[in-house]
Amino acid sequence: MKRLSVSLAALLLCACTKDPAAFLINGSDVAITLERIQPYFWSTGWQLDVIVNRSPDCQRRHHLKPTAGAKVKVEVFNPEPAIYILKQGRRWYVAELRSCGLEAFKEPPPEPGELVGTFQVKDNQFTFVAAAGNGGGAEAANGE
């Protein structure tokens, strides 16, 4: 019986999914990474974490509201240097690269800036997809 309990516990732990995608900003020292985490195989939604990184000065992890469904889509806008606006459904966040901070907006921003790309599933892989015509140094990096 003890063996069965240990085996079931191991199966539950192995069933979790952690899937990161990164938006590299002008190289690899500055990035915004979105991790979607499904802690249990029976979960229908995703927990979302944003990691704001400006190496070697700062790196911070922030939690977004979890999704209720299977679809994850977070748009990234750039209104000014070192400031990025993230849109997750009806929720809006501002990521500030100087301090690696993230704050939620109470109201949608009137001018979120230029769309630089979207964190989404493409070709069955969670990734950052640069907006068409974006030549501002947007690169995607996927964690596998």
Q: For residue range 111-131, what is the model confidence (pLDDT) as tens digits?
A: 999 999 999 999 989 999 999
Quote the tokens at residue 115. Answer: 């769309």
Task: Give the tens place of pLDDT for each residue, 52-105.
Answer: 999 999 999 999 999 887 789 999 999 999 999 999 999 999 999 999 999 999
Look at residue 44 and tell me whether its pLDDT is greater than 90.
no
Strand, coil or helix: 13 = helix
Quote the tokens at residue 108. Answer: 């949608």
pTM, entire model: 0.81
Across-strand partners of 18?
37
Q: Determine the Cα–Cα distance for residues 111 and 125; give it in Å rounded to an integer.
A: 30
- Domain ranges within the chain, ordered by starting residue: 16-142
Tell me, what's the pLDDT at 11? 47
Tell me, what's the pLDDT at 71? 86
CB contact set of 28 (below 8 Å; sequence gap of 6+):
141
Quote the tokens at residue 28. Answer: 């690899």
